[in-house]
Each structure stands twice: as C-alpha cells, then as structure tokens.
C-alpha cells in the first residue's frame, strides 16, 4: 500500500500530463503483479467493491479521539479522510509488522462481511503511515480524485511495452483486475489477451462545434447531414456468447454499461451488431422532451410504471459492427447503407433510423436548421437540437478527429460548461449551494484545463437545485469560506448546459469573455466533463457577434430560449 | 509567589521586571535575552543582548555589526544572575544556537522554550528537557493532524524523484536559517554526495554553518550555473523563490517545499507545490504534548500558533493553560526569510 500511496500522493500534486505518465509507468515497471494490476484498476476506476461510507470512518475516529480536537482538526483540514489519516492515533513505534498491500486491501474488501469491515479498516489504519492511511481511505471510500483519467492510466501501461494505448482500450472490456495477462503481453512475456466479452463497447466518435468561419473551407458535396437529436447518445451492442446465445449491452457514450437502466429497450436488439444512436423517449410516435428523458437517467430502480410512462427508443445513426464484421474502417456513406439494411432487418418498433437531411448547398442547410419541421423533422422538430455534418468518406474513428464530424447547434448561445465552484445562496436558498461558477476547457502549457467563464444563479427547477446541492456536498474537494470547489476533471464532474443572451470581451475575467444573463438551462448528468465546450468556442461566438454587429454576417436564425422553470 | 511576578506576559513578549530584561521581545528594549536567530524572535535595536555565541553571530550576519548596544555570549548550561534572577540557557534543538531559557527565582522555575523540536537534527544540539513549574511553549503545529516524525522518509522521497526525473531540476523551498542547512545535512546523511546548489539568499548563513564545523559537502551558488548543468540537481531556495520568475533558469523545475505545513494537502496545493516534504524545525503535535508532559510543569503558557487545540489538551490533562497573545511571533516558513538577509526582498510566501 505504501508504494501505491506514494504514487497517488505524487499524482495529486503533479500538474503535467507527461510527468503523470512517467510516474505511473515507473510504478507499473517496478511493482510486481498483482499489486500493479489492482493499482491500475484503482486508478482507472475499475474496482468494484462495496465502498466504505464516510459515516463509518467518522465513527472509527470519534471512538478514538477527543471530540474538540477532532472538530478543530477537521475544520482546519477540510476533508474527513485526510483528517482521519493524519490524526489517527497509531503509535508509529508499535505498528503491526505486516503493512497491507493493495492486493490485501482489494481482495479482503471483496469478500469481507459488512460487520467485520470497521475492525479490519482500523487494523489497516494502525499499520500504515499518514500517506498510506490517506490513500487507503480514499480508495475504500471510492473517492480517489487524483486528476488522472482512465485513458491516461492505459497510456501509462502501454508505455511499458511501446504499445498503442488504443489497443488496450479495445481489450479493456474483456479484462478484469489484476490484469496479469495484460501486463505479460505489454512486457512481451505473453500472448495478447483475447477480448472475451461478446458485446464490448467501441470508443465513440465525436464531433467538433462548427463555426461560420469553417464553412468556406468545406465542400457541401463531401458531407451528409442528419438532425442532432436532443436525447442521450448510446451504443447498443449484441454479440453471441460461447453457447451461441445473444448478449446485449447498452453503453453510455463513455462506455459505461447502462443496460440495467433500460430493460424495455435491451430486448429489441437480437441481431448481432453494434449500433450508435440517440436514446429518446417516445409517445404515440413522437419524441418527448429531454425532461421526460431525465426521468429515466440515473435511476437505480426501474419500475414497470416508469418504463410504461417513459418508454425508451433508439434512433440509430451509425453501424459499427454488422454480425461479426467490423465496419468502422468503411466510409460513412457505406456504413449508412449497411445501417439502413440492418434497421430494416431488425424491424423493431423501438428502433428507427435517424433520417438524412437533404441539401445541395449551405443555404439550404441553413434553412433546414432554421425550420426543421418543414425540412423533414415534422412533429419531432422540437427535439432537434441542431444539425450533424458527417464527411461521406470518414471512417468511424474514436475520439474527436479533426474535420470529420461537425455539430451545428440551433441555439447559438448555449454551451456545455463544467461546474467548478458552488456558493451558498441567500434568503430561502441560504441552506443550498445555489450560485454556480462554471468553466470551459482551454489549453495551458499543453494541458487541458478548465477556466471559469461565468456564474449562474437560476434557470434550474427546485428539484434540480436539490440534486446539484447534493452533488456539490458529495463532491467537494476544497472549501473557501462559503465557497466549495467541486470536482471538475475530464471524467469526473457535472456538466451544466448554460444558456446566455450574449458575450462581451472582459479584462476582468481570466477567460477574457463575460456572458450576459447566463442561466442553467439543463443538467447534463449524462455528459462527461471532457466533452464540455472549449473556451475557443466562446471566443469564436464572440468574433461572430462582433462581426454581426459590424454588419458583416448573415442574420442567424434565433430560437426561443429554452423554457426553464425559475425558482 | 505567582509566576507572573517573575515573568510577566505582555503583548511584546515576556518581561522580567525584577531582572530588568525581556525574552524575545518584539520591540526594542534595554536588555533582551534571545532564544534564537529567527527574525520574529531576534530583532535589532536592543540596548543589550544576551544569547548564545551562534545566535549573536547570526544576528550580526542579518542585521550588521551594530544590531545591539552591547552583547554577551552565554554558553549552554551557563547561568547568569540578573539582579537575583537566575537565567540558564539550554539547547532547544530548533536551529544552530537555539536555546531555551530557564528563569528561576524564589524556588519557582519558568522555562521559555522559544521554538523547539524534540527530534534529531544533524545541524544543532538536541533538545534538553528541563523540569519546571511553568513551561512556555510555542504551538506552531498545535493540532493533532501535524505529525512530522519521518524526516528520513521525506528525504528518500525527494531522492527517488530526482532519480525518476533526471532531466528536471529539483527546487527545494526551505527557510534560509536552519531548515536549508538541515535539509542539506539530511541529504548527505542519506548518501547524496553530488554538488547541492544554493540560492544567493542562502549563502551567508550556510557558510556560517560550515564555519561552525557542520559538514555540508560540496555546495555551489546557482547564480553561476548553466541551465543544462542543473538537470538532475537539487537546489535550496527561499520558499518564495520556488514559484517565481527566478525558476526560469532551471530545466523543467519540480517545486518542492520542506515545511511542517506540507502535511496538509490544501496548504501544499495552495502554494502550488509539486513535491511537498514534511520536514519541520518545530515540534509536531506528539512532540509538543510529550514535551509538555515530561517537563512536569503544572502551568503551560502558549506563545504562538494553533493555541486552541493545545490549550484544550492541557485542560484535559489537568494542566493550567493560558495563551500569551504575543503580537509579532510568526512562523518562519510563512514569512519567507529572504528579506532580512539582504537579498531579493520577496513577498511573504
Ligand atoms: Zn524559530
Ligand atoms: Zn517562532
């Protein structure tokens, strides 16, 4: 545990991506199996054991320390796990002689009964030093938060054997901790592990936000257009297991298995293949609002009442695998033909095809975007968020490759930002964290960092306020008086859709831009922070506004601001 | 006799009326007994200063020849009689020359410990426990979360980082009197024998340590070194320097800081430190509480720091405790300790 603790400790302070990689690769190189495998799983968020609750840790420390000293210490340190790690009254000269390894911890936790847990944790705390205790508590409470993405961990492991991290990505769904075969392969001591999951996730292809200045360089004949639906993106994968039976999984865009949340949809996929599409709620053949979809997201218990009231559908727009044939290398136009056949063969009432939007030139597409109802979207026009442009010849590439897919949103003044700080409100909201500072990504010294771009105080419903407040309290990483800093990393944090009236340049803000009248238009629990907008998007919007003010730009279609319930 | 009749706490330090002296006064007085050379305890401008030879030398280095009207060097273990009051100097284990001052009158003994630590330090004599009736203690790290017992482990961590990043320079922020020399001595003890580089602000004091027979191995000023030659090296600098423009002369520097404050993550992050080293010249919580208990004192006066927790602890042990609220004592890691050495007057860290 001590080496792992030292690694974690170092990673929390190291800002540089390359240095983080060096630290992890060095750890993987110098740590034996299975320790390094469990460490890899911990870093990548791939460990699953029942995590210990903060309440249990609090009880352990309360039983062992003076309440006044505990309160003063907690107040000073601001983090319970860290406070406990530092003030745990273990005598450094009389430690138990066996220091637990990460293997001991992970293996014990996966088998231990709940009743034995507190005593076991106390024994471990007695045996470890301050940093070891801190790492242990972070690990067992499931709150590592060290600014390392799963992707970065895989990249660090790949560097052991000069392998492409993407290969690990592809193998990952079929692997389980402690990844002994993976390390053997990385170190050229063993065969490449087989991906044994019959229905694995394939990393999603993402789009760039398009700006007016991009259009002159683009040839309309190279692109096809689709509606951008106001739902949540999923991947539906069906494969055959060893016994030839179909296995279906639904994945979020980040590869999280969300099949359990949509039992009503899973049974629709009997044909082996992998579909990329938008999950929508439909009633009487019409797409329902995103608010309706929210009822189905992040639910632990799925009642039959819920599935009847909010039935889930898939509107498919890409086919990655057909039977056992991987189509990702094919150009989009060909995949589209295969997709149309596949959907026809499925012939399932819960799955349909996202239609193409016909156009010959950008003017036609501009008109379609302004009025989707007359351009083929019909009654579903209210669920159209904008237009997707996809190059006819683009293969399906993981990540966000340049110039292949573009998204062209209808509302120019909406961005996805990441919650960074929250402050208590005033008056009847004084017990809630209701003032939010949010940020957009930018590159500093070659690193992607979030820079605050604005503050919002309203736009959310009372129920959403309670949800955000809960999120803030559970995900605080630091406190400054009434302000809490909330976790905001590439793969951890809350994405807020922010609507605003306009943009101005500002020298007072670090970002250089100030929003007019910003409000939270929606909570994007489904979206990983890495996919939030970049500061450059705002800068381009600003340039667009300035050009429009100078009378150089075409008037843009404006849509009514999204309806939001103010509190 | 009440102890306050011997030593009276005032906002500018404890004062002995009968003996006609103050201990570590924060304003200029006629006669001052000084525990050690840190600038919050040793100020210039007193009429007479009584201190160890090292403390007097350090004050001279910092403030110039005329830092006091007259000086008198007191040896460890030596007792001076000041109008019937007996004052004895004993090692405090804090920095070179640091002393506790035991003041005795009419069978009552009060120990003013200045700043102290109860763990080994290769650059100064170890803390000597004095039985007393009243113990005057600091409380810089007076919270149970402050524990800095594993100094060797912290040095090993630094050396592992130097080995892992041979193309980067490691900049260790350390207070220029005491901490810097201790870190160097600890690195030597751990077997590190390469040249260690110094920020200009460290030069005078470090040379003084060497002149007092403390072996610090090969040292060089960073001023003359080429950027490329600093790859893989360790440089000691005042805390405020490790995050300022001065660091541009180093290849991809790793910002380290040797301080007891580094025990708490929020503090380390706030100062944008990449490699915190929990090394302190002050007693940690265990050190404070063990020492207080061992002095046998029934009454504890707390000069500066996190006094709430320490006072609470004293009361739970049946000890009388009072805060002295002396204005002007600080912690040297927080004031960067550069300005008073004459070079690069930086802002507080
Ligand atoms: Zn001091
Ligand atoms: Zn002090």
B138 C-alpha to center of ligand 1: Å? 10
- Interval B66-104: pLDDT, tens: 999 999 999 999 999 999 999 999 999 999 999 999 999
Distance from CA of A132 to the nearest CA of B (A): 13
Q: State yes or no: pLDDT of B286 exceeds 70.
A: yes
Q: State yes or no: pLDDT of A289 exceeds 50.
A: yes
Chain A and chain B share a number of CB contacts under 8 A equal to: 67
Which of B139, B144, B160, B311 should we substitute to test contact with A (largest number of A Cβ atoms within 10 Å)? B144
User: Buried (b) or exposed (e) across B188-202, using 16+ Cβ within 10 A?
Assistant: beeebeeebbbbbbb
* Helix A117-127, helix A54-62: angle, nearest 10: 60
The DSSP string of A407-473 is EEES-TTEEEEEEEEEEE-SGGGTTSEEEEEEEEEEEETTEEEEEEEEEE--SS-HHHHHHHHHHHH
Looking at residue B331, what is its pLDDT? 59
Adjacency order of strands within the sheet including B196-198: B219-221, B196-198, B234-237, B170-173, B254-258, B275-277
Residue B262 to residues B88, B173, B265: CA-CA distances in angstroms?
34, 11, 7
Residues of A in contact with B308 (CB under 8 A): 72
Residues of B in contact with A73 (CB under 8 A): 143-145, 309
Q: State yes or no: pLDDT of A354 exceeds 50.
A: yes
Residues A562, A237: Cα–Cα separation, whole Å: 33
pLDDT level of residue A550 (50, 70, 90 thresholds):
low
- Interval B149-170: pLDDT, tens: 899 999 999 999 999 999 999 9
Joined tokens for residue A25: 């690769």
Q: Which helix (H) or strand (E) holds B311?
A: helix B307-316
DSSP annotation of A375 reads G
Nearest CA in chain B to A130: B147
Q: State yes or no: pLDDT of A96 exceeds 80.
A: no
What is the average pLDDT across A252-261?
Answer: 84
Q: Which helix (H) or strand (E) holds B236?
A: strand B234-237
pLDDT level of residue A88 (50, 70, 90 thresholds):
very high
CA dihedral sign of residues A398, A404, A410, A411? positive
pLDDT level of residue A292 (50, 70, 90 thresholds):
confident
Residues A236, A214: Cα–Cα separation, whole Å: 32
Q: Which helix (H) or strand (E) holds A335?
A: helix A332-346
B329 C-alpha to center of ligand 2: Å? 6
Residues of A in contact with B143 (CB under 8 A): 69, 72-73, 76
Looking at residue B349, what is its pLDDT? 28
For residue B266, give the nearest of A23, A26, A478 by CB distance.
A478
- Interval B303-347: pLDDT, tens: 888 889 999 999 999 999 999 877 777 656 554 333 333 223 232
Q: Which is higher by pLDDT, A551 or A422? A: A422
Joined tokens for residue B63: 């403030």
What is the average pLDDT across A186-212?
Answer: 86
Q: Tell whether ipTM is more than 0.85.
A: yes
What is the average pLDDT across B129-137?
Answer: 97
Which of B154, B255, B265 should we substitute to test contact with A (largest number of A Cβ atoms within 10 Å)? B265
Is the distance from CB of A127 to CB of A99 less than 8 angstroms?
yes
For residue A26, give the nearest of B164, B308, B316 by CB distance.
B164
Give the number of the ligand closest to the Cα of residue B95.
1
Is A82–B276 a contact, with Cβ atoms under 8 angstroms apart?
Answer: no
The yes-or-no answer on residue A20 being catalytic is no
What whole-number percentage of chain B has pLDDT above 70?
A: 94
B131 C-alpha to center of ligand 2: Å? 22
Joined tokens for residue B17: 């009326």
pLDDT level of residue A93 (50, 70, 90 thresholds):
low
Q: Please state whether the predicted TM-score (pTM) of the whole model is above 0.80.
A: no
Residue B297 to residues A111, A267, A405, B320: CA-CA distances in angstroms?
51, 78, 76, 9
Residues of B in contact with A19 (CB under 8 A): 165
Q: Which is higher by pLDDT, A559 or A57? A: A57
For the ranges A413-427, A479-493, B38-52, B261-275, the maximum mean pLDDT occurs at: B38-52
B113 C-alpha to center of ligand 2: Å? 10
Task: With H, G, I as helix, E, B as strand and everything else as coil, classify residue A175.
Answer: coil
Residues of A in contact with B149 (CB under 8 A): 92
Residues A295, A309: Cα–Cα separation, whole Å: 10
Nearest CA in chain B to A131: B263
For the ranges A99-103, A323-327, B86-90, the maximum mean pLDDT occurs at: B86-90
pLDDT level of residue A526 (50, 70, 90 thresholds):
confident
Looking at residue A12, what is its pLDDT? 92
DSSP-derived pairing of the beta strands B320-323 and B275-277: unpaired
Residue A249 to residues A258, A295, A472: CA-CA distances in angstroms?
8, 21, 31
Is A22–B269 a contact, with Cβ atoms under 8 angstroms apart?
Answer: no
Phi and psi at residue A356, to the nearest 5°: -80, 150
- Interval B200-212: pLDDT, tens: 999 999 999 999 9
**Under 8 Å CB-to-CB from A187, ≥6 apart: which residues?**
A160, A161
Whose structure tokens read 């003076």? Answer: A66
Looking at residue B1, what is its pLDDT? 80
- Interval A108-162: pLDDT, tens: 988 888 888 999 999 999 999 999 999 999 999 877 777 788 889 999 999 999 8
């Amino acid at each position: 545990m001590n080496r792992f603790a030292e690694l974690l400790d170092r990673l929390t302070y190291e800002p540089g991506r390359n240095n983080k990689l060096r630290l992890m690769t060095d750890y993987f190189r110098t740590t034996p199996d299975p320790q390094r495998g469990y460490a890899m799983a911990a870093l990548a968020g791939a460990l699953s054991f029942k995590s210990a609750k903060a309440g249990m840790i609090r009880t352990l420390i309360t039983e062992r320390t003076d309440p006044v000293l505990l309160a003063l210490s907690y107040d000073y340190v601001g983090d319970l796990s860290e406070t406990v790690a530092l003030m745990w009254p273990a005598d450094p000269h009389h430690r138990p002689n066996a220091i637990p390894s990460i293997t001991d911890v992970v293996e014990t936790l996966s088998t231990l009964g709940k009743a034995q847990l507190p005593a076991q944790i106390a024994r471990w705390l007695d045996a470890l030093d301050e940093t070891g205790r801190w790492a242990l508590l972070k690990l067992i409470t499931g709150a590592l938060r060290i600014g390392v993405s799963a992707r970065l961990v895989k990249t660090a492991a790949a560097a052991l054997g000069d392998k492409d991290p993407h290969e690990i990505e592809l193998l990952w769904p079929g692997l389980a901790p402690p990844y002994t075969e993976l390390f053997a392969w990385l170190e050229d001591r063993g065969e490449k592990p087989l991906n044994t999951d019959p229905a694995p996730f394939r990393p999603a292809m993402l789009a760039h936000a398009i700006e007016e200045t991009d259009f002159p360089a683009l040839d309309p004949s190279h692109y096809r257009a689709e509606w951008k639906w106001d739902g949540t993106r999923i991947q539906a994968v069906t494969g055959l297991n060893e016994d030839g039976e179909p296995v279906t999984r639904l994945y979020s865009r980040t590869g999280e298995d969300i099949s359990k949340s949509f039992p009503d949809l899973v049974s629709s996929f009997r044909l082996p293949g992998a579909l990329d599409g938008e999950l929508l709620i439909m009633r009487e053949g019409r797409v329902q609002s995103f608010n309706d979809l929210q009822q189905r997201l992040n639910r632990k218990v799925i009642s039959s009442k819920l599935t009847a009231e909010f039935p889930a559908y898939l509107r498919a727009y890409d086919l990655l695998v057909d039977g056992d044939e991987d189509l990702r290398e094919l150009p989009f136009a060909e995949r589209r033909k295969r997709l149309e056949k596949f959907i026809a063969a499925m012939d399932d009432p819960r799955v349909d095809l996202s239609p193409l939007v016909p156009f010959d030139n950008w003017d036609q597409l501009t008109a379609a975007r302004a009025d989707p109802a007359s351009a083929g979207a019909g009654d579903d026009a209210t669920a159209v968020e904008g237009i997707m442009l996809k190059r006819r010849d683009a293969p399906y590439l993981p990540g966000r490759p340049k110039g292949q897919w573009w998204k062209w949103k209808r509302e120019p003044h909406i961005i996805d930002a990441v919650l960074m700080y929250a402050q208590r409100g005033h008056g009847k909201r004084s017990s809630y964290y209701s003032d939010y500072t949010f940020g957009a990504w930018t590159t500093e010294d070659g690193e992607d960092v979030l820079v605050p771009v604005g503050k919002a105080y309203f736009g959310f419903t009372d129920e959403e306020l309670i949800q955000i407040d809960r999120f803030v309290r559970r995900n605080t990483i630091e406190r400054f008086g009434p302000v809490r800093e909330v976790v905001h990393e590439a793969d951890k944090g809350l994405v807020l859709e922010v609507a605003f009236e306009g943009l101005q340049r500002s020298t007072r803000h670090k970002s250089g831009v100030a929003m007019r009248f910003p409000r939270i238009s929606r909570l994007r629990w489904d979206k990983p922070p890495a996919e939030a907008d970049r500061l450059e998007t705002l800068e381009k919007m600003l340039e667009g506004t300035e050009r429009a003010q100078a009378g150089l730009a075409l008037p843009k279609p404006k849509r009514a601001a999204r309806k939001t319930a103010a509190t | 006799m009440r102890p306050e009749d011997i030593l009276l706490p005032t906002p500018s330090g404890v004062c002995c009326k009968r003996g006609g002296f103050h201990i570590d006064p924060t304003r200029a007085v006629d006669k001052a007994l000084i525990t050690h050379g840190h600038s919050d305890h040793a100020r210039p401008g007193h009429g007479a200063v009584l201190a160890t030879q090292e403390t007097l030398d350090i004050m001279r280095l910092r403030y110039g020849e005329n830092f006091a009207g007259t000086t008198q060097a007191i040896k460890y273990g030596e007792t001076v009689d000041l109008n019937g009051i007996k004052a004895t100097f004993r090692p405090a284990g804090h920095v070179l020359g640091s002393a506790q001052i035991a003041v005795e009158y009419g069978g009552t003994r009060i120990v003013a410990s200045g700043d102290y630590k109860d763990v080994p330090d290769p650059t100064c004599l170890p803390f000597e426990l004095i039985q007393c009736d009243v113990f005057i203690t600091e409380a810089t790290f007076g919270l149970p979360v402050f524990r800095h017992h594993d100094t060797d482990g912290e040095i090993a961590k630094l050396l592992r980082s130097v080995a892992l990043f041979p193309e980067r320079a490691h900049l260790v922020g350390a207070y220029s009197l005491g901490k810097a020399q201790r870190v160097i001595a600890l690195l030597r003890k751990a077997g590190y024998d390469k040249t260690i580089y110094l920020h200009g602000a460290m030069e005078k004091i470090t040379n003084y340590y060497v002149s007092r027979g403390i072996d610090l191995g090969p040292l060089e000023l960073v001023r003359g070194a080429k950027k490329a030659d600093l790859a893989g090296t360790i440089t000691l600098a005042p805390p405020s320097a490790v995050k300022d423009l001065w660091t541009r002369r180093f290849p991809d520097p790793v910002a380290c800081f040797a301080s007891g404050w580094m025990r708490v993550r929020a503090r380390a992050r706030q100062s944008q430190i990449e490699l915190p080293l929990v090394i302190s010249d002050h007693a940690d919580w265990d050190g404070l509480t063990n020492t207080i208990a061992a002095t046998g004192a029934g009454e504890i006066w707390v000069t500066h720091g996190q006094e709430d927790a320490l006072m609470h602890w004293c009361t739970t042990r049946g000890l009388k405790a009072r805060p002295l609220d002396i204005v002007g004592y600080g912690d040297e890691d927080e004031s960067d300790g550069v300005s008073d050495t004459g070079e690069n007057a930086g802002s507080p860290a």
